[in-house]
Structure formats: C-alpha cells, structure tokens
Structure 1
C-alpha cells in the first residue's frame, strides 16, 4: 500500500511515522524546506521537496499512490491562499491524470463555521467564515470535494484546536495565566488530541470515507473552564475575565462530532483535559 502525505508538519509527520512503523505502509512525504529532508527521511521511505503550486512536482509525488493526505499549514495569515487553495487546485488537476489514487484525506478546520454565538453546528450547517482566510478554507474544501467520483473518495476532516505531545495545553495557554481576558469566558471550545487525528486519518483511509466529518472531542469546555483547569493542574494563577472588553475571537460554535462517531470512530481522548 503506497500512501503520500502532502505537507508534513505536526500532524503529517505523526501520521507518516504511524503508517510506516505500525502498519508497514510505503510512505512518501513532501516538504517545502530542503533543510528538513534528513529529518523526514527518518519517518518516510521517500521525501520530495515540492511546493503546492508545482504541478510536475506533485505529479511525481502522487504517481502510483493509493491514498493521499493533504495536511498543509500556513506559516502566517498572508499565505493562506497559496498554502491551501493553490495546493488543492494543483492536486485536483494532478489527480485527473493519476487513476491509482482512490482516497484523498484533507485535514481542515472547524473555522469554516465562523461565529455562531455558541450554537451547535454539524456537517449540514452552512459554512459562515468570519474572514477572508476562513473563506479560503471553505473554497479549499469545495475544490477538493469536486474531485470526488466513482473511483475517488475525498474525506474532509474539520479539526478542532490541536493539542498533544510538544503542543500541550499548558504550553498554549501558560502565557495567559494571571492575565485578564476579554469577555466572560462562556464561549465553547473545540479541541482534538493528536492521537485522535492520526486515528481518524487511518479510519478514513481504512473505510474510504467520503464527504465532510467534524473531528473534535466530547468535552466542549467553555474557555473559562478550560483555562481554570489548565491553571489548576499546573499551579498557575487563574485567568480573570472582563466582559466590558470586546471579544476578538472569530469562531464561536459548539461543533458536533456525532457523524464520525456514527460511522464507527471511537475517540482515544474524549476529554480535553
């Protein structure tokens, strides 16, 4: 079984290691940084230095592959279109010439739901991106889904906030301990552990999932609850809240994970903390 991972950052690298070491799959990974090749060679049989808009380069990556994972991440807000949308468009063009690929899995974001004032959303909820980069993420999903066909399934995983080894919650939130945050902390959070992302990618590959699936844990703690627990666990001063200060968070929704669970997926870490 040949599998390719386009974009090998925090998530892609972990999926590659799991597929090669635990399942014995033949793994090809990409990076845009030549200096990372040696690091990538430890987790994949083949490493290709390629940018997402390089048609010839991507053709060489996905030739003779069975499954392709698109797991790119933008270095900053200014390169969203180049990182996500242009890569997706190039990949879809290349897929037309690559009949061996039967499954595409894309790790996207629940950011496409935008600000729902804390209401529940699921995969049937219309997207409502809060800004231009959210719209780019929506467009990326649609471009990829357009490649679906009788012989090719496309699975979009809308991820919550990612935490795990090296990206622990205390590392993410420790710097705000003892500070005052805008709002009252009552907006829900949606998180997912790295282990569950790896497991869901494999679940999607194994079951050839088609369509959109939310990938978040069961906890849905409010921001206040989450920060209180992080601070308590690590003996840090608690965060204060000031409702007179305007909120700046563009995403505010309770994201349902029922569709993926109904398909048979079981979370390894159902609780955020």
Structure 2
C-alpha cells in the first residue's frame, strides 16, 4: 500500500528562502487543468516562450478527501495530501506548507450539518493557514451569483454584493473569510466566475439539456448570462496567483454576454439539434423545477476589464461559439 508523503511544516523558514509550493484545495476538473496549463507554460519557457502567467517552476500539492484519487493525482505529477475540509482536525498538516494556495472547493451543500448561510470549509482552511507562516498568495474561486439579479445591467467588481440564494450567500461569506486572511498580509484574489463550459468537461455543454428538450425563456423574459471556457478559467487562476493585486476581485468571463436562450440556440445549431422551446416566465414557473428557475431569475453582464488589463490574460476562447467548436 502506498503511503502519502508527510511534510514537516516550513513555518520556521523566512518566505524568501522557501521553495515555491502550490497547494490546490478542490482539485477537480479545473484544478487538473491548472496543472496542465502550468506544465505547458514550463515547457514553453524551456523553448524560449514567455509564460502567460509569469509563474516560476514550483511543486504542486493537492488536498483530497478520497484515498481513491491518490494514484490519479500522482499520475498528473501532483503530491496528494489526505485531508477533509469538513473535518478541520485533518487540515493541520497544511499549516506553513504552501507558498501559494488555489482554493477551488465549493461550500457545503444546503442541508449539510453546518448553517446553510455560511461556508465552514473556507473558514477552516483560513484558520489553519494562519497557524504558521501564511502563504504569499491565495486565490479563491467564487461565483458571479454573489451580485444577485442586476436586471441585465453591466456589472463591475466594485458593485455591492446582494446574494439572493443560500448558495450565493455561502460564497459571499467565503469571500469575507478570504478577505480577512488578506488583512493578515496574504495577497488574496477573488475570482467571480459565471457558467463554466468545455466540450471535454463532464456536463460542460448544453447538449444533454437540448436532447431532453428542456424549455428556455421567451425572448421578452430572458436573462443575460456569462460564460468562461474551463481552460481559460485555469489560466486565469494562474494569472491571479502571480499577478493578482492584494484584496482584489476579478470577473473571469469571456467577451460575449448572451441571453440564455440565445446560448442554447447557438449550441443547438452547432450540434444539429432542434432549438429549445420557449416559455413565458409565468409558464416556466409552473413547469420547471426551482433550481433551474433560480438560474433563470438573475440577469447581469460582467465587465472583465480587470481580467484582461490587470491580469493581462488573453482569452483563447473569447466567445462561446469558439469554445464550443473546440472539440
């Protein structure tokens, strides 16, 4: 049976003498894309290219609560660390371990033991990171849902938060915990992320929904939505780790806000499938489940100038059409 590596905390070493270590918390699809993007940048630098995110070579570690994922992570060149965000006592080994942290783990789902309006996972992670020498930087993957409904208006990162669902409130509370860590001297960045898609991501396209014939809203009732290709999100995570300004929020989205129904129509045309039927909002409220309706109840267009100018990220898929075609 393989044994996981056990690291001695590095809190006794000044940060400037510590080898760069990236800890990924919540290393699912996006986390693995981050590792692949990082590996690609290292290869590019060896060939004389300028790295997009400016990241140095570093060791990558990932927290996992599943022993079954150990072999998968190791195969990707990642050092796995067993621990569970829902069991804070298992996280103590993380103290002083990493110079950079990428926090991709979601809050607990509604109905979990913790209060439905808070995120005890992020709170537990922040507490343990403060025990010894804190990391130099932490990037937290939040959601654009923290703004609530904006009636289709253009939204910048300075807009006050107004989460309208328990799911979004948990994210807003997690952002506050991250900012609290930032006040302790850690360079924290918050990525507010809309719908993530990618043809090679499980459930990463609307094809299954289109095949079911799930309705969309009629044009007069439709809402604006925003999207980001999973590969561009991974590159944005790296850019924020190395270039993000302290206590800064960034919209990670492409250049094409779309009405939700138009997005489904575009995908249907690309896949050669029938476009979804359209319903008035009143009819949708009678026929569609509450969770689906919640995504049809908020309309906003995200301004991503900080992403492009401050993080200097050049999107590979600036529109949904380009991203969906990249099979």
State TM-score, norm by structure 1.
Answer: 0.89
**Cα distance in structure 1, aligned partners of 2:65 and 2:110:** 18
2:302 to 252, 255, 271: 255
Q: How many residues align?
A: 273
Matches within 5 A, 1:86-235: 86-149=120-183, 151-167=185-201, 171-177=205-211, 179=213, 181=215, 183-185=217-219, 186-210=222-246, 211-235=248-272
Compute the displacement of 1:93 (Å).
1.2
2:70 to 37, 45, 66: 37
Runs of 5+ consecutive residues of structure 2 not aligned to the other structure: 1-19, 43-56, 286-292, 322-327
Change (3 A) 1:222 1:104: same
Partner residue, 1:12: 31
Aligned partner of residue 115 in structure 1, secondary structure: coil
Compute the displacement of 1:56 (Å).
4.4
After TM superposition, the structure 1 stretch with the greater mean CA deviation from structure 2, 84-93 or 199-208, is 84-93
**Cα distance in structure 1, aligned partners of 2:315 and 2:216:** 32
Aligned partner of residue 108 in structure 1, secondary structure: strand
Compute the displacement of 1:251 (Å).
2.8
**Cα distance in structure 1, aligned partners of 2:207 and 2:298:** 17
Compute the displacement of 1:113 (Å).
1.2
Partner deviation per Cα, 1:23-76 (whole Å, 9 max, x = no partner): 342011011112111111112441012111444432313533110010013685
Compute the displacement of 1:254 (Å).
1.2
**Cα distance in structure 2, aligned partners of 1:61 and 1:135:** 27
Contact 2:29 2:201 in 1 (8 A): no
Contact 1:67 1:103 in 2 (8 A): yes
After TM superposition, the structure 1 stretch with the greater mean CA deviation from structure 2, 81-90 or 226-235, is 81-90
Compute the displacement of 1:21 (Å).
6.0
- Pairwise CA RMSD of aligned residues? 2.5
Contact 2:21 2:100 in 1 (8 A): yes
State TM-score, norm by structure 2.
Answer: 0.76
**Cα distance in structure 2, aligned partners of 1:6 and 1:152:** 17
Contact 1:9 1:73 in 2 (8 A): no
Aligned partner of residue 99 in structure 1, secondary structure: coil
Partner deviation per Cα, 1:232-266 (whole Å, 9 max, x = no partner): 11110111212142452243211111222231222
Runs of 5+ consecutive residues of structure 1 not aligned to the other structure: none
Aligned partner of residue 136 in structure 1, secondary structure: helix
